[in-house]
Chains A and B, each alone.
Chain A
Amino acid sequence: EPEVTQTPSHQVTQMGQEVILRCVPISNHLYFYWYRQILGQKVEFLVSFYNNEISEKSEIFDDQFSVERPDGSNFTLKIRSTKLEDSAMYFCASDGDTLAGGLQNEQFFGPGTRLTVL
C-alpha cells in the first residue's frame, strides 16, 4: 500500500544551523503539507503546497522556513537558522489522489522527523 515516507527519522542540530527535512509523498497525490507537533501539544499546520507553489501557510511559517519540490518525488522543508523552539516532530502529509479525481479527501501522514535543536 502506498505510503508517505520521511527522512531522517531523527535530526539533531545546533541552534543557528540550517536543516532540511525530506519527504516522499504518495506518488499519485497532488497536494503536500507540513505539520509540526511540539512535545505534548497539538499537531499544527505549517504549509500546504500545490502545483509547485505554496497555497496556504500559517503564522508559524515565517521567513526562516521554506519548502521545495526539487524533483518529481521529493518534498522538502528547510529551516534556515534553527531555534530551540523549533524542536518538534515534523510530519509530512499528502492528499488529492489523481486516480480519485484529485479531490482533497483523506490525508495521509508520514512517520515524522523528530528535530532536536541544542
Chain B
Amino acid sequence: GENVEQHPSTLSVQEGDSAVIKCTYSDSASNYFPWYKQELGKGPQLIIDIRSNVGEKKDQRIAVTLNKTAKHFSLHITETQPEDSAVYFCAAGSSNTGKLIFGQGTTLQVKP
C-alpha cells in the first residue's frame, strides 16, 4: 500500500546550524508534498509545501526539494533557532482529494 518513510527520527543541532529531513514515498501518483510542524499539545501546522511540477521551493529559512524520479523529497532549515524545536512531518498525496499519507515524524532539537 501507500507508504511514506521519513528519516531521521530524531535530530539534534546547534543553534545556527542547518537541519535536513528526508522522505521517500511509494505512490507514483502523488503530486503534493507538504511539510508540517507540530508543537507539544497542538495540531500539525503547515509550514511549506511543494507540488510535482516544481523541483524546489524556498520560504525564508525553509526550503523543500523534490525528486519525482527517485520519489524523494527533503526539508532544509537553515540558521536554526531554538523555536524551530518541534516534531516535523512530511506527507505525500493528491492535491485533488487532499488525502495525505504522513511520515513517522522527526523530532528536531535545536540547542542554544
A and B pair up: no
